[in-house]
Amino acid sequence: MKVWAGELGFADLAVSGVDLSSAEPGLEAWLADGFHGEMDYMARHGMMRARPAELVPGTLRVVSVRMNYWPRAADAQSALDDPQRAYVSRYALGRDYHKLMRNRLQKLAERIAAEAPHGFRVFVDSAPVLEVELASRSGLGWRGKHTLLLNRHAGSYFFLGEIFTDLPLPLDAPEAPHCGSCRACLDACPTGAIVAPYRVDARRCISYLTIELKGAIPEDLRPLIGNRIYGCDDCQLVCPWNRFAQFGAEADFAPRHRLDEVSLVELFAWSEGEFRERMAGSAIHRIGYERWLRNLAVALGNATGSPDVLAALRARADDPSGLVREHVAWALARHGQRQG
């Protein structure tokens, strides 16, 4: 199977069982603390998330795969260091990965079926699936203190996907954790969202605030967001295991529309039509134009108050969206305070 997976562009594949009962107390505590914020679907699926055989009856094994995405050309640190530039999480610079991964997983599952007929279902970043838990039990890596999967030979810059199957495949051995005494990700998180090792309060996480949150971004967190307009990679950028990160090989994941180097002012000038046309086929499209402008307004409030930044904000002071107007007003007030 590993050879077939490699031919389909996957960097690795491993098999786990379906008994995740030991993960249930941690999941329950995380939900009880409200750490999932507005992501109601996390609570809605309840403990079914930890029970693959309830989600897909008959499932005996989960085949987890990973696919590298780190773009060769885009320099993350230089984008983060320039407050006039936009920072987009590296996984979202190119085309949305979901469709590509799902198609490849489907092909892999069909190829397995040609040799050994089986009932299967494929998942990519699907809410009811505890993908990091499954992948760590399969030995694809271990859960880092930032809660993402880490692999000794590839760091963490990869997507995960799963095939639920009723084949009794031989199990792979889990990987022991290798974070040791390191706590670089906890210290580096701009908003302190990693409240303890292996515990992320999504309500403070910049990925949640810029992607999942629909309404206003809490004011106390806005200055901490810096120029991150869609997601955040800081906990991964500081992780020592990402010295071993591997570049993505898929052309689809290469940066589009200069998202790896473009300025905040340039993006803020996009019309809704331009946003829709340019972000079609990107994960960013899903947040919609209003949240896009909200995020950019926050980043422009954190940028250096150059004439073009102030002019861009003033041009949207009367935006039809109340959400955007409020964030623009906040950004202008912040520049006013700095100048005053």
Is the CB of 178 or the CB of 278 nearer to ligand SF4?
A: 178
List, in sequence order, every residue forming a beta bridge with 176; answer none if it has no partner: none
- Within 231-260, the residues that bind ligand SF4 by CB under 6 A are 238-241
Check residue 145 for interaction with ligand SF4 (CB under 6 A). Answer: yes
Active-site entry in 12, 19, 96, 125: 125
Q: How far is the CB of 197 from ligand SF4 (least distance, A)?
A: 7
Check residue 47 for interaction with ligand SF4 (CB under 6 A). Answer: no
Q: How far apart are CA 93 and CA 69, in angstroms?
A: 10
Using DSSP's 3-state secondary structure scheme, residue 287 falls into helix
Q: How far is the CB of 15 from ligand SF4 (least distance, A)?
A: 24
Give the count of alpha carbons within 13 A of 209, CB side only. Answer: 27
Is the CB of 195 or the CB of 238 nearer to ligand SF4?
A: 238
Check residue 184 for interaction with ligand SF4 (CB under 6 A). Answer: yes
- The region that residue 181 occupies, defined by phi over 0 for left and psi between -120 and 50 for alpha, beta otherwise, is alpha
| Beta strand pairing call for 158-165 and 61-68 | antiparallel
Is the CB of 94 or the CB of 144 nearer to ligand SF4?
A: 144
Is the CB of 135 or the CB of 298 nearer to ligand SF4?
A: 135
* Count of positions on this chain that bind ligand SF4 (CB under 6 A): 13
Q: How far is the CB of 155 from ligand SF4 (least distance, A)?
A: 9
The CA radius of gyration of the chain, in Å to the nearest whole number, is 21
Q: How far apart are CA 80 and CA 270, in angstroms?
A: 21
Is the CB of 47 or the CB of 238 nearer to ligand SF4?
A: 238
Q: How far is the CB of 91 from ligand SF4 (least distance, A)?
A: 17
- The region that residue 15 occupies, defined by phi over 0 for left and psi between -120 and 50 for alpha, beta otherwise, is beta
**Of all residues in this chain, which one has the CB nearest to ligand SF4 in the complex?**
144
In the set 146, 294, 334, 335, which binds ligand SF4 (CB under 6 A)? 146
Q: Let me know the angle formed at the C-alpha of 143 by 284 and 234, rounded to the nearest 5 degrees.
A: 45
Q: What is the helix (H) or strand (E) element at residue 195, kind and residue range?
A: strand 194-196
Phi, psi of 110 (to 5 degrees): -70, -35
Q: How far is the CB of 228 from ligand SF4 (least distance, A)?
A: 18
| Beta strand pairing call for 194-196 and 12-16 | unpaired
Q: Which of 264, 262, 261 is nearest to 296 (CA)?
A: 264
Is the CB of 30 or the CB of 241 nearer to ligand SF4?
A: 241
Task: Select from 41-49, 66-74, 115-123, 142-150 the region that touches ligand SF4 (CB under 6 A).
Answer: 142-150
In the set 52, 71, 128, 144, which binds ligand SF4 (CB under 6 A)? 144
Q: Which of 130, 95, 89 is nearest to 212 (CA)?
A: 89
**Residue 125 among the catalytic residues:** yes
Catalytically annotated residues: 125
Using CB under 6 A, list all residues that contact ligand SF4: 144-146, 150, 179, 182-185, 238-241
